[in-house]
Amino acid sequence: MPACPSCNDANTASVFRKNEFPYHRCRRCQSLFVDLKMGDKAVHEHYGEAYYESETLAEKGRRGYPSYRASYASLTDGFRKKLDFVRKYVSGGRLLDAGAAYGFFLKGAEPHFEGEGIDISNFAAIVAQREFNVRVKVGDIERVDAPDGSFDVVVMWDIIEHIIRPIKALTEVARVLKPGGYLFVSTDDASNWLPKLLGKRWWSLGAPMHLCHFSKRGLAIICERAGLGLPAFFSDPREYTLPEIIKHFGVSYESNFLKSIGLTLEKSLVNKFVVRMARPEQFIAVIQKPAT
Domains identified in the chain and CATH numbers: 49-288 (3.40.50.150)
Q: Tell me how many degrees the CA angle 261-266-268 measures, rounded to the nearest 5.
A: 100
Nearest-angstrom CA–CA distance, 137 and 284: 25
* Ordered DSSP codes for 91-130: -SEEEEEET-TT-HHHHHHTTTEEEEEEES-HHHHHHHHH
pLDDT of residue 59: 59
pLDDT tens, the chain, 292 aa long: 799 999 999 999 999 999 899 999 999 999 999 999 999 999 999 999 999 998 776 556 556 788 899 889 889 989 999 999 999 999 999 999 999 999 999 999 999 999 999 999 999 999 999 999 999 999 999 999 999 999 999 999 999 999 999 999 999 999 999 999 999 999 999 999 999 999 999 989 999 999 999 999 999 999 999 999 999 999 998 888 887 878 778 777 777 788 788 888 877 877 777 778 788 999 999 999 999 8
pLDDT of residue 116: 96
Contact 228, 174 (CB under 8 A): yes
* Burial of 126: CB neighbours in 10 Å, binned 0-12, 13-18, 19+: middle
CB neighbours of 290 closer than 8 A, spacing ≥ 6?
A: 179, 180, 227, 228, 229
pLDDT of residue 62: 57
- For CA atoms 57, 262, 161, 123, the dihedral sign is positive
Instruction: Compute the residue count for the chain.
Output: 292
Contact 93, 111 (CB under 8 A): no
Q: At what angle do helices 256-266 and 242-252 cross, to 10 degrees?
A: 160
pLDDT of residue 259: 77
pLDDT of residue 1: 79
pLDDT of residue 292: 80
Nearest-angstrom CA–CA distance, 54 and 63: 6
Give the Å distances, CA to CA, from 223 to 169, 218, 292: 10, 9, 16
Q: Tell me how many degrees the CA angle 189-256-57 measures, rounded to the nearest 5.
A: 95
Please name which of 12, 100, 143, 102 lies closest in space to residue 1, comparing C-alpha atoms. 12
Please name which of 13, 30, 28, 25 lies closest in space to residue 189, comparing C-alpha atoms. 30
